[in-house]
Structure 1
Amino acid sequence: MDKTIKRLPDGEFTILKIIWQLPEPTTSAQIMDKLGEENHWKPQTLLTVLARLTEKGFLASVRKGRERQYRALVSEEDYLALETSDFIKRHHGQSMGGLVKTLFQTNSFSEADLAELRDLLNK
């Protein structure tokens, strides 16, 4: 995969998050099980999304017997770094201070959260 990771639509991101949680390689059947019985995903829809993620370079796909196995090519950490950077650019004009101010105004933080933030800032 090239170094330019693109932001995924929510449905594709949902599936990728599940793949990160499962042992690799994983199959569409394992992904459907993890989605649960009350999900809105049909098997064919899932296969279409998996094919898209493979085309986009987020997954590697190998056929084993009658089933395909999938492995993530982009780590959760790398993708979340992209999402965070994109969010800051879109909503706070690349201002970390603006983001932090908004977080403090709209959320209550526990003492543990604040201690973790202090540790991060000190590093």
Structure 2
Amino acid sequence: MKRSIKRLPDGEFTILKVIWQLPTPTTSARIMEKLGPDNHWKPQTLLTVLARLTEKGFLESVRKGRERQYTALISEDEYLEVEASDFLKRHSGRSMGGFVKTLFSSNSFSENELDELRSLLNQRK
């Protein structure tokens, strides 16, 4: 049975993206370091967001000594499937073909990306 994954607010999604980039498990200190010196996150705000992501089932939090370690329970691909599905539901008046046409006309794709898309389409035949 597939898990029910809810769409995240932008701030929570930003933190989850950082966690996906780090070796697991990770700590709030590593997350702050990865966010960089120009980030707007205060340590306490980050801890609050991490607690929310844990409550929502996106993260596992385990205390190790004086710190907590965080592991993503949902992969980036799983979450992006939800985002894509949610987007298409919100724009349900559009056909898939119309959506793809708009996507192609508004973006430039590299040859590698086009090859990847061709491969995906060929797999669906």
Normalising to structure 2: TM-score of the pair? 0.90
| Residue 89 (structure 1) shift | 1.5
Measured after TM superposition, the shift of residue 42 of structure 1 is 0.3
2:25 corresponds to = 25
Q: In the alignment, which residue of structure 2 is the partner of 1:113?
A: 113
CA–CA distance in structure 1, aligned partners of residues 54 and 96 of structure 2: 33
Q: Distance in 1 between matches of 2:58 and 2:101?
A: 33
TM-score, normalization by structure 1: 0.92
CA distance in 2, matches of 1:33, 1:100: 38
- What is the deviation of 1:27? 0.3
Q: Distance in 2 between matches of 1:72 and 1:8?
A: 14
The offset of 1:114, in angstroms, is: 2.4
Q: Per-residue displacement from partner, 1:15-50 (whole Å, max 9, x unpaired)?
A: 001111111110000000000011000000000000
Structure 1 residue 93: deviation in Å?
3.6
Shift of 1:97: 1.1
User: Cα offset for 1:109?
Assistant: 2.6
* Cα deviations by residue, 1:43-82 (Å, 9 ceiling, x for unpaired): 0000000000000010010111110111111111110110
Aligned equivalents of 1:113, 1:82: Cα separation in 2: 21
Structure 2 distance, partners of 1:97, 1:60, is 39
Shift of 1:94: 6.5
The residue number in structure 1 matching 2:7 is: 7
Structure 2 alignment gaps of length 5 or more: none
- Structure 1 residues 113, 92: closer, same or farther in 2, change over 3 A? farther
User: What one-letter code is carried by the residue in structure 1 that aligns with 2:3?
Assistant: K
Runs ≥4 residues deviating over 4 A: none
Q: What is the count of residue pairs matched by the alignment?
A: 122
Q: Secondary structure at the match of 1:24?
A: coil
Bigger shift: 97-106 or 49-58? 97-106
* 2:72 pairs with 1:78: no
- Distance in 1 of aligned mates of 2:95 and 2:41: 38
Q: Return the alpha-carbon distance in structure 2 between the equivalents of residues 26 and 110 of structure 1.
A: 34
